Structure 1
């Protein structure tokens, strides 16, 4: 088990890497817009144990225990840049058989990484990811920002992100609520995804409709499955962890080693 800061081409990232199973694939967890390694709780370890896979978690720059972002300003391709960072991290750790499990922004980054670096990605589990901007997404971000400004959410986030909270929230909300981001779309990348894909989404996801799922699985080149969970919102792995765990285990165990 390694737990600490790794320099990835000048970016100091907090990494937690458990290599328990020799010669087995590594499941890489990619957190959401306000997430961190800690906020995954015990889910990654349970999935790793159930599938006999190694597990890698990391905080993106500006999150959790990683070093701060240089600026909160982002361009439309910020998640493509994050996919490049992930590729560099995988190279640094000599991981060439990763199964990506990404939630929300992390799900989108997982899709982009599988598209750009197919030689390193064995499979993708995308949970509540986005491939284009919808009105429901914008509304969800607006409501999250309102909650941040009117409740004790800043203090709760500080527990996990320290003094990086304000910059992190600005980075997320300002780009998603900007006019320039309305045109953001990664559908053109989907045809390059050749590995198996499982797309998990709550039927009542407050940040996206089922169009995100349908348009993704219909455009990738590899095999693709969807798992829609009734009466569940944006964070299935927290709302119904056992259901998500069991379906993820089934998917990973079905992969040809």
Structure 2
């Protein structure tokens, strides 16, 4: 088991080095909340949110930068259009095993939320007791693709590239790997709603009312869940609820985790 809270750690999955951070108690002592970042995110861009979640819930929190992001190893471009499914099926299971994951929740933001849903859509893992999805994507929308096209302009002609370069060792790989995939003509047909049908754990979905990368139709897709579903829409909030409405987002997560803890405590032990 790899779990150190006083410094960044590094995992290796199939020869690829991944930067990571751990907060709070290890999986042997408490449920673990595994955070999955957005399409331009990384460990550092989660800022102090992981520590706040660990402090507020008393649970361990683990976050890692996917290949091509942050200080993780670079990725070969172009990314395949099913890169989120590949992350969920080929990489995330090995990451969970390396940290000694025993029970807990996947908490994803944007692309990370899609990866969290895809994990349970493709892998039966009873260790995962719940999903927290912030600004999830289940299909493409014209308005979201238009905003991603605007991001390309901002990267090529504005200040987005130097701002991202502060956090990503390979800023070209980080941006192009995300942006080029989403703007590929073949990506318009991308749809992972099938994964929802396989989710059998409580889901908390949080989205900003002003999210320019996805409409509330993304949350509407979750209404068909065969599991308890809490839907939270935050006003005066865009694509990053944990940064733009941090207190409200944290309060929702704490309440959700407390309910899961009560459910776990009430379950009878099997002899």
Distance in 1 between residues matched to 2:168 and 2:212, nearest whole Å: 24
Q: Which residue of 1 aligns with 2:256?
A: 251
2:162 equivalent to 1:155:
yes
Task: Say if 1:114 and 1:195, in contact at 8 Å, map to a contact too.
Answer: no
How many residues in Structure 1 have an aligned counterpart in Structure 2?
Answer: 254
Q: Which residue of 1 aligns with 2:174?
A: 168
Unaligned 5+ runs, structure 1 = none
TM-score, normalised relative to structure 2: 0.90
Task: Say if 1:115 and 1:189, in contact at 8 Å, map to a contact too.
Answer: yes
Q: CA deviation at 1:200?
A: 0.3
Task: Say if 1:19 and 1:54, in contact at 8 Å, map to a contact too.
Answer: yes
Unaligned 5+ runs, structure 2 = 265-271
Distance in 1 between residues matched to 2:72 and 2:224, nearest whole Å: 34
Q: CA deviation at 1:14?
A: 0.8
Q: CA deviation at 1:76?
A: 2.5
Q: Which residue of 1 aligns with 2:65?
A: 59
2:146 equivalent to 1:139:
yes
Q: Which residue of 1 aligns with 2:245?
A: 240
Q: Which residue of 2 aligns with 1:49?
A: 55
Q: Among 116, 119, 122, which residue is 2:122 paired with?
A: 116
Q: Which residue of 2 aligns with 1:183?
A: 189
Deviates further, 244-253 or 116-125: 116-125
TM-score, normalised relative to structure 1: 0.95
Q: Among 18, 36, 40, which residue is 1:34 paired with?
A: 40
Task: Say if 1:6 and 1:15, in contact at 8 Å, map to a contact too.
Answer: yes
Distance in 2 between residues matched to 1:189 and 1:254, nearest whole Å: 24
Task: Say if 1:96 and 1:119, in contact at 8 Å, map to a contact too.
Answer: no
Q: Which residue of 1 aligns with 2:109?
A: 103
Distance in 1 between residues matched to 2:127 and 2:16, nearest whole Å: 21
